[in-house]
Structure 1
Amino acid sequence: MSQRVLITGGGSGIGKAMAESFAAQGARVFITDVSETVLAECPENWLKTAGDASDPAHIRDVFARIAAEWGGIDVVCANAGIAGPTALVEDVEPEDFRRCLAVNLEGAFLAAKYAAPMMKAQRSGVILITSSNAGINGFPNRAPYAAAKWAEIGLMKTLAMELGPFGIRANAIAPGCVEGPRIDGVIEREAKAKGTTPDVIRAGYEAGVSMRSFVTAQDIANMAVFLASDGARLVSGQVIPVDGHTENPDPKV
């Protein structure tokens, strides 16, 4: 029987790569995204809906639709997130801090909250949270993002403990710098804050990775498919970095 997979933030970037990879394995895919534009560009045979991952009513409606359409859920990828501000902690506005935590952390919480009863009833399921190596190492000039990503790991480990007796696994994937528009924006903002160029910042990031390379969205998707498979049937409560090994999370430039 094909897996039934929900991916929040599934319209672009890591989320879309996950959706494509699960679909290629024969899974039925449901994606949510805040952008109707990116959803319109996704395959017609995917279930999809636009909304804010941190909105309880939206996520509740998503799971009501899953129950009606599929009668259950096998994999939930709590992937929706935002980069948050790039600034020293004293320069971060409280509302920007709260918004970053809401989308990243509360979004993951809501996905797990509504998935748990459904998965408990069927005594199986996989919850995957997209954290970050910022949730392992910290990230100067990105306090809201690092705080959210550390908290996601605490949430995941608690889910693994609460849900394990019901045959449900929970893990977090910790990407390094993922090629794409989001990290490009972060690099540009950091370069401006430090009075240097984006090329210098990018080189500094790459120098802090053993494999001297950024990762791709497909690298993250490959790990998600594995963690949702029977090959990972006893992998739970774990943080799996996919980052080429971060040696130095704060390369000086």
Structure 2
Amino acid sequence: MLLKDKVVIVSGIGPGLGQELAYGAAREGAKIAIAARSTDLLNKLKDEIGKKSEVIAIPCDITKPEDCKNLVDETVKKYGKLDGLINSAYRAGDFKEIEDSDFSDWQETMNTNFFGTMNLTMAAVKEMAPNKDGAIVMINSLITKKPLPTQGGYAASKGALATATKILAKELGPKGIRVNSVYMGWMWGPPVEMYVNFTAESMGVEPKDVIDGVTKDIPLGIIPDDSDCANAALFLISDLARVITGANLDVNGGEFMS
């Protein structure tokens, strides 16, 4: 198994990619700590995963440094170490063109996607550095490479994270800690399914018509499933990627090619 005996934290557990990262890490043999603000969803997922793998669920608001420290401390208390962190928690923000945006909403989005992610990353680094071993993966977005109207706040926050991640890879490499990014595009899961159904109803068309409009730009001809996208992050956490750091892995069915 790809992550046998590894201890991995997955933040941002929720419908879609977050829970698929947790399912995948458990499937690949990791002992995991899952974190989110919603205790109901956390406990539900803990019960599901706990039937097959070791898992703890820790409520965590990543915008609060004390919550991040508690998450790492509880993970190490339970398992004795921390090998990997997958930063999946995010805030989408409002969907407005920049000239119509309320920048207080941008600040909230930045506080989660950038500063919150950095809070949790730094808490993990403090644990990993003395052992000179660790892997961190940032879930980033195609929006930073293929801009779309109305997503300025979200894209700006992910752009800031992308730049900081490259610096982290340089700074933490000598400490044995790898830092990489995966850039997700369209992912088929509950959030996108809701979007497709809502858009189809609004436009008076069939869901297939909306999907066809998306997939026409994707060479593989499908909206990649979020579980398949999760596998890319799991690879970068694993020892198969032990000499990969500072990488930007595009996971979008070929919609964007650097």
Does TM-score exceed 0.5, indicating one fold? yes
Distance, in Å, in 2 between the alignment partners of 1:155 and 1:182 is: 27
Shift of 1:184: 4.7
8 Å contact kept, 2:84–2:237: yes
Distance, in Å, in 1 between the alignment partners of 2:154 and 2:195 is: 11
1:246 aligns to what SS in structure 2?
A: coil
1:12 aligns to what SS in structure 2?
A: coil
Structure 2 length as normaliser, TM-score?
0.86
**Aligned residue for 1:251?**
none
Q: Cα 1:151–1:14, aligned 2, differ >3 Å: closer, same or farther?
A: same
Shift of 1:163: 0.5
Shift of 1:201: 5.4
Shift of 1:139: 2.5
After TM superposition, where is structure 1 displaced by more than 4 Å over at least 4 residues in a row?
184-192, 195-202
**Aligned residue for 1:85?**
94
**Aligned residue for 1:211?**
220
Shift of 1:188: 7.5
**Aligned residue for 1:231?**
240
8 Å contact kept, 1:130–1:174: yes
**Aligned residue for 2:36?**
33
Per-residue displacement from partner, 1:37-68 (whole Å, max 9, x unpaired)?
21121134321122322222211211221232
Q: Which runs of 5+ in 1 are unaligned?
A: 249-253
State the AA in 2 paired with 1:125: G
8 Å contact kept, 1:22–1:29: yes
1:43 aligns to what SS in structure 2?
A: helix
For the pair 1:110 / 2:119, whether they are aligned, the reply is yes
Q: Cα 1:138–1:40, aligned 2, differ >3 Å: closer, same or farther?
A: same
Number of equivalenced pairs: 246
Per-residue displacement from partner, 1:18-46 (whole Å, max 9, x unpaired)?
11111112211101011112112113432
Identity of aligned residues (%): 26
Q: Cα 1:69–1:247, aligned 2, differ >3 Å: closer, same or farther?
A: closer
Among 116, 126, 143, the residue aligned to 2:135: 126
**Farther off after superposition, 116-125 or 226-235:** 226-235
8 Å contact kept, 1:135–1:148: no
Listed as ranges, the matches of 1:1-253 within 5 Å are 2-44=5-47, 45=50, 46-184=55-193, 196=203, 199=207, 202-247=211-256
Q: Which runs of 5+ in 2 are unaligned?
A: none
8 Å contact kept, 1:17–1:221: yes
Shift of 1:207: 2.1
Q: Cα 1:53–1:39, aligned 2, differ >3 Å: closer, same or farther?
A: same
8 Å contact kept, 1:11–1:42: no
Structure 1 length as normaliser, TM-score?
0.88
Distance, in Å, in 2 between the alignment partners of 1:48 and 1:189 is: 32
